[in-house]
Structure 1
Amino acid sequence: MRPQKVQDPEMLQGLMSVLRAKGYDGASLMELAEAAGLKKASLYHRFPGGKKEMASAVLAYVEDWVTQHIYGVLVNEAETPKKRLALALDNTRQLYQKGEAICIFRAMSMDTGMALFGEQIAQGLQQWVDAFTKLGTDLKRSKSEAKALAIQSLIDVQGSLVVAKGMGTTDIFEDALKKIRARYVS
């Protein structure tokens, strides 16, 4: 068997870049193939379920990365809560390319994407809330206060990405991360 020309993480990142930019409905198969570094026939060979399978694979890839680098970090009791928060926010910065990339959940939650992937999106958002709530309780906040902080952190990240993109400045995203840190460690 010949070695694969495009490795999976590289291919999935290419697919994700198109889906982030165009959403599920707007992404053409030609654009997805080009971004993956494959011909359309090869892309269909890898994903016989078509665009839906590609998008699902991208969401699973992102979920795995976020579980390892953000949620897993936040609940790792081997580190202090403050250290966990700092690392999780650094990894959030990396995930969103310092505020330049939109969230794949946002891109996929439009039109057909929400109907197809709404459950995956809801689970991802709930994971964020659960992990940040755990961090809050580890920082001696009540369960209700920790959950409120977690939801606000999700709103801050998602909202700041939209506003940063619209205003053409990543400073808004950076400010949101600073406010999240300050809320937890004040």
Structure 2
Amino acid sequence: MTRTVFEKSDVIPLVAEVFRELGYEGASLSKITARTRLSKGSLYYFFPGGKDEMAAEILAHIDQWFIKNIFEPLEKDEPRSAINHMWQEVDTYFQSGRRICLIGAFALDETRDRFAAVIRQYFIRWIEALSAALVQTGISEETADQISEETIASIQGGLILSRALNDESFFERTLTNLSQRISTYISESNSGH
């Protein structure tokens, strides 16, 4: 039985989960229709450009979520509360490590070349936004850049290991350790060490 969908915004999360499960190459149109219970006609109505358009729309949707919930708060809000907010949002978005980073997954396979600019900009903006927030707390720019790169790499690695080990507590521990590490850097920079 096919599903009734009225808006493209309803379809994007459904198709995104198929891409998360099967990857870009594994998500054939027949598998997308089977897993989402959407007809081929509905998919082509919303995405006349086919699978490439689906992936582009999904990446744009993910990017907008991160801009609103993580990047802009890091760029505009009080830095300590924005960083604490980031940990909560990251844990929620990635479902405590049960959900892969689709942009990260796309960066690992042949899809990377199709969407290189979007993938690159997502990671650069996250690193730069976190670094800017850390600088506002009193950490030097060089140290903030290093911490930010290591933090985003650790989040991505934590997602992979959490899934590989089938242990969501691994991702939760990763976020806790990263949060404590950054709090220590902030405290030390404010105490003059």
TM-score (norm 1): 0.91
For 1:10 and 1:88, how far apart are their aligned partners in 2?
25
Identity over aligned residues, as a percent?
A: 26
Q: CA deviation at 1:37?
A: 4.3
8 Å CA contact 1:12–1:36 kept in 2: the answer is no
Question: What are the equivalent positions in structure 2 for 1:118-129 lying under 5 Å apart?
Answer: 118-129=116-127
Q: Match for 1:73: what amino acid? A: P
Q: Which residue of 2 aligns with 1:82?
A: 80
Indicate the residue corresponding to 2:21 in structure 1.
21
Q: Which residue of 1 aligns with 2:166?
A: 168
Q: What are the ranges of 5 or more consecutive residues in structure 1 without an aligned counterpart?
A: none
Q: 1:54 corresponds to which residue?
A: 54
SS in 2 for 1:109: helix
Superposed displacement of residue 136, structure 1: 0.9
Deviations 1:34-88 (A, max 9, x none): 44442011111111110000000000000000000011111223xx322111111
C-alpha distance in 2, partners of 1:21/1:123?
23
> Any idea what the Cα deviations from partners look like across 1:89-145, whole Å, max 9, x if unmatched?
111111101110111012212433111111111110001101110111011100010
In structure 1, C-alpha distance between the alignment counterparts of 2:73 and 2:35, rounded to whole Å? 30
Supply the RMSD in Å over aligned alpha carbons.
Answer: 1.5
Partner of 2:93: 95
Structure 2 residue runs without a partner (length 5+): 185-193
Q: Distance in 1 between matches of 2:94 and 2:139?
A: 28
Native 8 Å contact 2:96 2:169 kept in 1: no
Number of aligned residue pairs:
181
Match of 1:131 in 2: 129
Specify the structure having the higher radius of gyration (Cα). Answer: 2
Shift in Å, 1:7: 3.3
Contact 2:127-2:149 at 8 Å conserved across structures = yes
Shifted more, 173-182 versus 96-105: the winner is: 173-182
Give the TM-score normalised by the residue count of structure 2: 0.88
What code does the residue aligned with 1:20 have?
R
